Each structure stands twice: as structure tokens, then as C-alpha cells.
Chains A and B, each alone.
Chain A
């Protein structure tokens, strides 16, 4: 029992470390960019904005509060929240599909979002201003999920293999559709391509709150079912005999993780590899127990996507789409941990 408490304390300490690291990253990266701002000044500006104490801003360049609060923080927070969301969705998809190679996009969610966004961009619809494209992307993702679930279900049950297969088929059809849209798009084609590669440029506080709402709600639901998801790895027959409503659990988590993904993707565009690599990486450190894996993945996902976005924004001479960067770093890194894990003979 003593040992158990020790484990709990270590886990608490670990979470605390990750949270501090995330906060440090947010403050540091807010200071980085074309205009250099020291971390202390960043903290002062944020505190003065929250408390309304304007004397903290004395002797500071008057553009700093604007740069921090209106330009950088929304972008930085959005990237962190999306990083957390994609990682949580990755953990859930790998868990319910019983497949360590699944990611938030396995079921064609990204293709659906991309198709929706492409249509909005092609037709140049703007009925709710700059939120038209995210809305179309979100609708595309949700419709894709419904289609995949409809195709894969038989007699009210859905199996992992059917889900993956249907996801691949639907994604393939949608990809063809996107290619066609690009072909007919003419001058809009570069905007479509840029959206598909993912970016956090010019995000607002509305984006922050929207993604936060999706990711936090989804995260709480996933954490609620974390232990049931652990049992699911025994297979449906065993999980059923242990008191899990396997079919219902699968659908609840599938919809939750897909909505998290749709919320993230519609704001940021397609950012690959985060949802695949982070759960693997964290399983390596904290083990496969979803009760530990979910919070750890969320925090580390937030840190890493934030770091990647800061690299493209403030470190590289010209900004490249963050989705390209995550794939360029994440891909080889995934190969590395995949090989290392095979040598250790632990799968997952």
C-alpha cells in the first residue's frame, strides 16, 4: 500500500513538472519573435491585463501589450490546445481501434475536414466571415465520421477492423474529391494547399476559446472512461464479461475523439503525426494505462506542438506551415521509437 502511495506521488510530481514546463514554454515563446520581449515583461503584461493594474506597464514599449495579448498569445495558446487535443484523440483512437498505428485521422476525419474547407475556399463563401472555412471543415469532419460509422456497422455493432477499412475507403474517395477541387480551383488553389498544410497564423481569442471548449470537454469524457478503455484491450468478449458495454463505449469514445479532432482541425488545418507520435512516446514513459497516458499525452502534446509552431514562427528565417514541420520531425522520430521499441520487444 505504501508503494502505491509512492507511485501516486511520483505521478503527481510528473504532472506538475509537465504543467510547469508547459507554462514556461508559453511564456518563453511569447517573448520570441520579430520583437524580442523578456519573459519578465511577458508576465507583467499578462498580470496587468488580468488584474487591470496598469502601473506594471510603466517604462515598457507601448506596442508590447498589443503584440503579446492580441497577436502572440492567441496563436500560442491555440497551438498548445490543438497539440493536447490531437494527442488525446490519438490515445483514444489507438485504444478503441486496438491498433497502435491508428491516429486522429485514421477514420478519414482529416480528409472530411479538408474536403469541407476546400469547398468553402473554392466557392469563396464567407457568410460568417473568417469562421466560414472552419465551420465547413467541422461539418465535413462530422459527416465523414457519420458515413464511416454507417458503413462499418452491421446489426448495431461496429468492429475495429470494419471501422479502419471504412475509414480508409471514405478517405480515399474524399482525397480524390479534394484533388478534383484543386484541379478546378484556379487561383484559389494556393489558399487551399496552404490550409491543408496547417497553420496557426492569425488566430484570435475566439479560436482559443472554441478549441479549448472542445478539447477540455472531450478530455474530461475520455478520462471518465479511461479505465474502461484499459479493459477493452482484452478484446470484446473479455471486456463484455467484465461488465463493459463494449459497443456503447466504443461509440461514445469514437464520437468524442472525433469531435475533438474536428474542433482542432477546423481551426488549425491538417497537422500530422502529433496524434500518432505523442501517444507512442508517452506510452514509452508512463506505460499503456490510459489514466496516466491521457493527461501525460495532453501536456506533452501541447508542449511539442507549441514548440514546433514557435520554431516556424520565430526561429526559422521564413515561416513554413507547421503541419509540414511536424511531419518532417515527427516522421523520422516515429521511425526511431518504432525501431527501438521493436528491439525491446514491447509492442505499443
Chain B
């Protein structure tokens, strides 16, 4: 057994009723890296992330996390290991922004106990770093889509887990906040030895931030590897059926992808 892997995914399948979402997928995720998952709509990115956080259980196959079967973990214990920023952030009740971010500490606070000084400290620090100080006592129901998404992101950061899963976690943010948020995630990979797995639609963001990239199509992995090896014109054509040019860009210091009008 290769102990270097954080997640060992072996031949997993998952179906919704009769539609196959994940088919015979195997993958190793190494710790302390920023992974990007790219692929067309409905290729199984979200399902894969849900399987990793155990919101869904695979129909067959096995997922191991830190050398232990994922399904053997206690739910609360798992919540201290893996955090998820979901795609949707529809909140119907007028909690304040601070209350929502504090919910990220839920797995650490015993039932009926108030949050500890440490919990409060972490929440305040995250709010400051996410530039949410000004919103603290604002109702989350009054915020715009992008602002709400930042709050949801801050909530996941407050969970302070070794693994962070992002499901299009920045899709509604402006470019300033997208870069800021992804930078925070990337920084925590370097400084806190966090592992980030992000489903991304923007290939250039993936190119700028990811160490490894996973190409998915119809529930399978088409190609996976180091960014420089995997982000190729052939893979993009293979997965998205579009022509592109991939080149090394000096300014962004990474590979970049460009498209043109047909």
C-alpha cells in the first residue's frame, strides 16, 4: 500500500437511479497539493467531491482516507478532516455573517457549549483575511451572490481542516475576490500543509493555481498528472471538444490556455 496517498480511490461507481455518474474511477490524491478537476458540465465533478466528503457513498469500489476506509470514520470526526465549499449557497433565514462563519466551528464545539476563545479567534481571523469585517453583523440574506459565496468560503476556512474541497467555490465572485480567495487556499497548501481539491471551470485559473490537474469526462478520468504534463491541447480537445492553444505565459508564470472564435 502506498502510504504517500491521502485519498486512495479504487474502482468506484456511482449511479443516480439509472444514470451513471461515476464509472470505474481510480485515483490517488497526494497530500499538500492543489488539485484542479476540470471537465464539461455533468461529467461527475460534483459527484466525485460528494463521494470524497461522504455526502454520498459509492455503489461499489473503495475510498480510503489517511489509510482508513472513509466509511469507517465517524461523521463528526470526518468534519474535522474534510471541508466542502458547495456550488449553491442559498440561505433562507436571516443569520448574521458572523453566525454563518461560526457554523464552520460546529464539529469542534460540544453540544450545549458556547464557542471557545479559540473558535472565536479563528472566526475573527478568517473574517478579517476574507475582508468580511465590514459585514459581520449584516444579515446573510441581504448580501449579493458573490458576497454570500465569500461567506460560505469563510465558513469552510473556519472549519480548519487538512482537506478543502471546492465545488466551483468562486463562480460568483468578481476577479479580485476570486484571486484573493484562491490565493488564500494556495497559501494554506504551502503553509498549513492543506490539500485542496477544486472543481474549476476556468482553465486559466486552474493553470495558475493548481499543482496537479484531473481531466474528467462522463464519469471517468481521461488524464491526470502534474499541470505541465496534463494541461495540453490534446486533453482539452478530448474533454471539451474545442480547439485551443496552450503556451507558457511569462507574466502569470504558468501555462495559459487561449481560444478563438470559430
| A interface residue numbers (CB < 8 A to B) | 1, 4, 98-100, 155, 224, 227, 230-231, 233-238, 240-245, 283, 287-289, 345-348
**Are B95 and A289 closer than 8 Å at their CB atoms?**
yes
**Are B86 and A237 closer than 8 Å at their CB atoms?**
yes
- Residues of B within 8 Å of A, CB-based: how many? 42
Q: Chain A contact residues: over half helix, strand or loop, or mixed? A: loop
**Are B94 and A287 closer than 8 Å at their CB atoms?**
yes
**Are B79 and A231 closer than 8 Å at their CB atoms?**
no
Query: Could you mark each residue 153-172 of chain B with 1 if its beta carbon is under 8 Å from any beta carbon of chain A, else 0?
Result: 00110010000010000000
Q: What 10 pairs between A and B have smallest CB-CB spacing? A: A243-B79, A241-B84, A243-B76, A348-B93, A288-B93, A346-B94, A240-B55, A237-B86, A243-B107, A347-B141
Q: Given A243-B75, A243-B76, 5 other A-B contacts at CB below 8 A?
A: A224-B111, A231-B106, A233-B95, A235-B86, A237-B55
Set of chain A residues within 8 Å of B96, measured between Cβ atoms: 287
Q: Is B253 an interface residue (CB 8 A)?
A: no
**Are B53 and A241 closer than 8 Å at their CB atoms?**
yes
**Are A231 and B103 closer than 8 Å at their CB atoms?**
yes
- Interface CB pairs A-B, < 8 A, 21: A99-B92, A155-B17, A231-B106, A233-B92, A233-B93, A234-B152, A235-B91, A237-B50, A237-B55, A238-B152, A240-B54, A241-B83, A242-B104, A243-B76, A243-B79, A287-B96, A288-B93, A288-B94, A345-B142, A346-B141, A346-B142
Q: CA–CA, A240 to B107, complex, Å?
A: 11
**Are B155 and A345 closer than 8 Å at their CB atoms?**
no
Q: Is B100 an interface residue (CB 8 A)?
A: yes
Question: Chain B nearest CB: distance from A266 CB in Å?
Answer: 30
Q: Is B30 an interface residue (CB 8 A)?
A: no
Question: Chain B nearest CB: distance from A306 CB in Å?
Answer: 28
Question: Chain A nearest CB: distance from B22 CB in Å?
Answer: 16
| B interface residue numbers (CB < 8 A to A) | 17, 50, 53-55, 75-80, 82-84, 86, 88-96, 99-100, 103-104, 106-107, 111, 114, 117, 120, 139, 141-142, 152, 155-156, 159, 165
Set of chain B residues within 8 Å of A230, measured between Cβ atoms: 95, 103
Q: CA–CA, A287 to B99, complex, Å?
A: 11
**Are B93 and A347 closer than 8 Å at their CB atoms?**
yes
**Are B82 and A241 closer than 8 Å at their CB atoms?**
yes
**Are B159 and A345 closer than 8 Å at their CB atoms?**
no
A242-B94 contact given A1-B117, A235-B86, A345-B141, CB 8 Å threshold: no
**Chain A residue with Cβ nearest B16:** A155
**Are B92 and A4 closer than 8 Å at their CB atoms?**
no
**Are A235 and B88 closer than 8 Å at their CB atoms?**
yes
A288-B53 contact given A243-B78, A347-B141, CB 8 Å threshold: no
Set of chain B residues within 8 Å of A346, measured between Cβ atoms: 94, 139, 141-142
**Are B93 and A242 closer than 8 Å at their CB atoms?**
no
Q: CA–CA, A288 to B96, complex, Å?
A: 9
Q: CA–CA, A130 to B67, complex, Å?
A: 63
Set of chain A residues within 8 Å of B159, measured between Cβ atoms: 241-242
Set of chain A residues within 8 Å of B77, measured between Cβ atoms: 243
Q: CA–CA, A245 to B57, complex, Å?
A: 13
Set of chain A residues within 8 Å of B94, measured between Cβ atoms: 283, 287-288, 346-348
Set of chain A residues within 8 Å of B107, measured between Cβ atoms: 242-243
**Chain A residue with Cβ nearest B78:** A243
Question: Chain A nearest CB: distance from B23 CB in Å?
Answer: 19
Q: CA–CA, A247 to B107, complex, Å?
A: 17
Set of chain A residues within 8 Å of B78, measured between Cβ atoms: 243
Question: Chain A nearest CB: distance from B45 CB in Å?
Answer: 13
